[in-house]
Amino acid sequence: MSQNNEDLEEKKLLGSGGYAIAKLTEDEEMKANLGVPHLFLGNVGRLAEDRFLRYYCNKCGKEHDGWPLLIYEVPNEEIAENVILVEKGEYRCRDCNNTIAQYRKFSQ
Ligand SMILES: [Zn+2]
């Protein structure tokens, strides 16, 4: 995979339990944008750890340096006709285990 680091932009990604500051490509930014002025971590899905600069946990009430813990599974489970749940994951605070954001990836 070739990726030009200069194309990465620092963005704030909102989650249900906080937010993350991460570097995104233009494609990822488009994916995270649902036509509203905010970007959502849950729409980006899985991001490499080194993309995260810091994150904020609502429960801790503060920012942490680095990346939130990511727990994910790849169930490849058919949840409706021709709709497969490919991957589901959850970003959690490394200090208190609070869920920062969740995502689900489907293929049709
Ligand atoms: Zn926390």
pLDDT tens, per residue, the chain with 108 residues: 445 556 899 999 999 999 999 999 999 998 888 788 899 999 999 999 999 999 999 999 999 999 999 999 999 999 999 999 999 999 999 999 999 999 999 987
Whether 73 is covered by a domain: the verdict is: yes
Q: How far is the CA of 98 from the centre of ligand 1 (A)?
A: 5
Ligand 1 centroid–CA 8 distance in Å is 27
What strand order describes the sheet that includes 18-24?
Answer: 39-40, 9-15, 18-24, 52-57, 62-65
Overall domain count for the chain:
1
Q: Is 2 among the domain residues?
A: no
- Asked if residue 39 is part of any domain, the answer here is yes
The per-type count for the chain, helices as H runs and strands as E runs, is 2, 9
Q: How far is the CA of 43 from the centre of ligand 1 (A)?
A: 21
List, as ranges, residues with CB under 5 A of the ion ligand 1: 57, 59-60, 93, 95-96, 98
Q: Cα–Cα distance between 79 and 20 in angstroms, integer?
A: 29
Other CB atoms within 10 Å distance of the CB of residue 13: 26
Would 1 be classed as within a structural domain? no
Range of the domain at 71: 7-107
Task: Give the SS3 label for residue 7.
Answer: helix
Task: Write down the pTM of the prediction.
Answer: 0.88
